[in-house]
Amino acid sequence: MDNTETQSTVERIKQQIEENAILLYMKGSPKLPSCGFSAQASQALMSCGEPFAYVDILQNPDIRAELPKYANWPTFPQLWVDGELVGGCDIIIEMFQQNELQPLIKEVAEKNKQED
């Protein structure tokens, strides 16, 4: 793979993160997750009651390869909120259980509804 391909993948990642206030990089989809961690993470997000975007990294091997380097986070799923990496499954579940995820997701969703 030459550098231009790598560059365009990183550009795509940046664009996805910019365009989607709530974005989950996961294995599979929220309705058909392909791993337990992605299932738990998307379940917690869905429980917050706001729409969110997701990217199935199994369908996007280039993103799967590049995102850990870009994010400096080795594993999936990865939750990005408002352009910031929140973290992986453990962090998502912990925040959800401590009622920290719900207000964060609601606040960002509200903010972005107003911007449209």
- The C-alpha atoms of residue 70 and residue 99 are separated, in whole angstroms, by 28
On whether 116 is known to bind a ligand per the annotation, the reply is no
35 CB-contact burial (10 Å; exposed 0-12 / middle 13-18 / buried 19+): middle
Binding site annotation covers 76? yes
Residue 56, annotated ligand binder? Answer: no
Judge whether 35 is annotated as a binding position: yes
Using CB atoms within 10 A of its CB, is residue 102 exposed (0-12), middle (13-18) or buried (19+)? middle
DSSP 49: T
Q: Rounded to whole angstroms, how far apart are CA atoms 64 and 28?
A: 12
User: Does 48 belong to an annotated binding site?
Assistant: no
Amino acid at 51: P
Known binding-site residues for glutathione equal 27, 64, 76, 89-90
Known binding-site residues for [2Fe-2S] cluster equal 35
Known binding-site residues equal 27, 35, 64, 76, 89-90
